[in-house]
Amino acid sequence: MLNIGVLVSGGGTNLQAIIDKIEDGYLKGCNISVVVSSRVGAYALERARKYNIPAISVPRKEYASIDEYDSALIKSMEDYDVELVVMAGFLSVLGEKFINRFKNKIINIHPSLIPSFCGVGYYGLIPHQKALEYGVKVTGATVHFVELEADAGPIILQKAVYIKDDDTPETLQKRVMEQAEWEILPEAIKLYSEGRLVMEGRKVRILEK
């Protein structure tokens, strides 16, 4: 059984997608052992509690430094025997201590086709606003391994979503979530749980079943 720790900050729709895929058997062999929110009262915590998943707040604002916050997050992961950390709408920065402790065991969902519209400051609606401003015809979502530099780790999966002429940042965000994020994040977790992700330099090769 792969124990997953999910880091959240907001609504938790990606967490819900993982829960749903465990419930329907797609992610058999996976277990969410804890959900940790950087913000008190995040609705993602309510989603976890509905399924009796341990759901705790480790509020970023209560820690003076990234290093101290890393230590608190590491403890919460270790308390629940977490083997894979999934960042699902997590809005705080993970520091070197956390990333080294869970090296190559942290994945993140980003709402764009990295390397476009990503990096520091690109979160929530912003990647979608920038895609619309730029006039790209295609955007999407990316699941990648997490390294110290924001949104720069080896890419695991991507899925494209076509932009419509009448899209707003909100309509685009919703479609990217529905058609891309909620599909590729559980798929990446499944591949990881089956040992089918192989690092080749900076590239991730997916082994056939």
- The CA distance from 149 to 169, in Å, is 25
Say if residues 190 and 170 touch (Cβ distance below 8 Å): no
Q: Considering only CA atoms, which of 98, 82, 180 is closest in space to residue 146?
A: 98
Min dist. Cβ of residue 111 to ligand GRF (A): 4
Cα separation of 136 and 130, whole Å? Answer: 9
Q: How far is the CB of 90 from ligand GRF (least distance, A)?
A: 7
Q: Does 118 bind ligand GRF (CB under 6 A)?
A: no
Q: Which of 19, 36, 55, 109 binds ligand GRF (CB under 6 A)?
A: 109
Which of 58, 91, 96 shows the shortest CA–CA distance to 77?
58
The site that binds ligand GRF (CB under 6 A) totals a number of residues, namely 15
* Closest C-alpha among 91, 97, 89, 92 to residue 70: 97
For residue 64, what are its two tokens? 């003076």
Residue number, 76 or 142, with CB nearest to ligand GRF: 142
Q: Which of 89, 140, 153, 186 binds ligand GRF (CB under 6 A)?
A: 89
186 near ligand GRF (CB under 6 A): no
CB of 181 to ligand GRF, least distance (A): 5
Query: Is-catalytic flag, 110?
Result: yes
Residues 39, 60, 110, 144: which is the catalytic one? 110
Among 6, 13, 35, 94, binds ligand GRF (CB under 6 A): 13
14 binds ligand GRF (CB under 6 A): yes
**Strands (E) located in the chain:** 2-8, 30-37, 55-57, 84-87, 106-110, 138-145, 155-162, 197-200, 203-206
Q: Which residues are near ligand GRF by CB under 6 A?
A: 8, 10-15, 44, 88-89, 109, 111, 173, 177, 181
**Catalytic residue numbers, as ranges:** 110
